Amino acid sequence: MNFVSIIMGSKSDYEIMKNCSDTFEKFNVKYEMIISSAHRSPERTKDYVKEAEEKGAVAFIAAAGMAAHLAGALAAATTKPIIGVPMKGGAMDGMDAMLSTVQMPAGMPVATVALGKAGAINAAYLAMQILAISDKELAIKLKEDRIVKAKAVETDSKDIEVLL
């Protein structure tokens, strides 16, 4: 069974990362979601990654703020794709998390998406694009979703358009 794993460094990340799981549910994509910290529970994090891989995890989404080492800890524990979602908060209001998530050493890639809600949703979409490489049904759903989004832009524009 293929699925995506969502790991949050703290329970305070849940309200934002619920947008990620909601996106998966909209597309009927299987996922797991846990809280595990690179700093406070490193053994739990490492053990979970191994267990998730054995169960069929195809990609991991890591949401963390401040030092945001969770994505890097996951990258060190697996060769599966890692998607980092930097979370707002702390003294630098998320900039520290963004910089920490994006600055990985060569050979330890972490795909980094936007801060907060947009990042949570984009992480789900990126993970689904990875899954869609081998899941034609999901690939079709993603293409249909793009068409719906494009039509919504056109509809919104018609409501306010002023053309010469």
Sequence-distant (≥ 6) Cβ neighbours of residue 70 within 8 angstroms: 7, 9, 36, 37, 38, 45, 62, 63, 64, 84
- What's the alpha-carbon Rg for the chain, to the nearest Å? 17
- pLDDT tens for 18-32 read 999 999 999 999 999
Taking only the tens place, the pLDDT of each residue in 71-116 is: 999 999 999 999 999 999 877 888 888 888 999 999 999 999 999 9
Pick the CATH number of 3-135 from 3.40.50.1970, 3.30.70.141, 2.40.50.140, 3.40.50.12780: 3.40.50.1970
Domain ranges of the chain: 3-135
Tell me whether residue 156 is annotated as binding: no
Average pLDDT on 112-122 reads: 96
Q: Which helix (H) or strand (E) holds 5?
A: strand 3-8
**Percent of the chain with pLDDT strictly greater than 70:** 100
Q: Is residue 13 marked as binding?
A: yes
Contact 110, 82 (CB under 8 A): yes
Asked whether the beta carbons of 37 and 87 are under 8 A apart, the reply is no
Output the pLDDT for position 142.
Answer: 98
Would you tell me how many other CB atoms lie within 10 Å of the CB of residue 76?
15
pLDDT for res 89: 83
Helices (H), the chain: 14-26, 42-55, 70-77, 95-102, 116-132, 136-160
Q: Residue 91: its pLDDT value, please? A: 79
Averaged pLDDT score across all residues of the chain: 95
pTM reported for the whole predicted model = 0.94
Secondary structure letter of residue 13 according to DSSP: G
Residue of 161 and 31 predicted with greater confidence? 31
pLDDT of residue 1 exceeding 90: no
Check whether 41 is labelled as a binding-site residue.
no
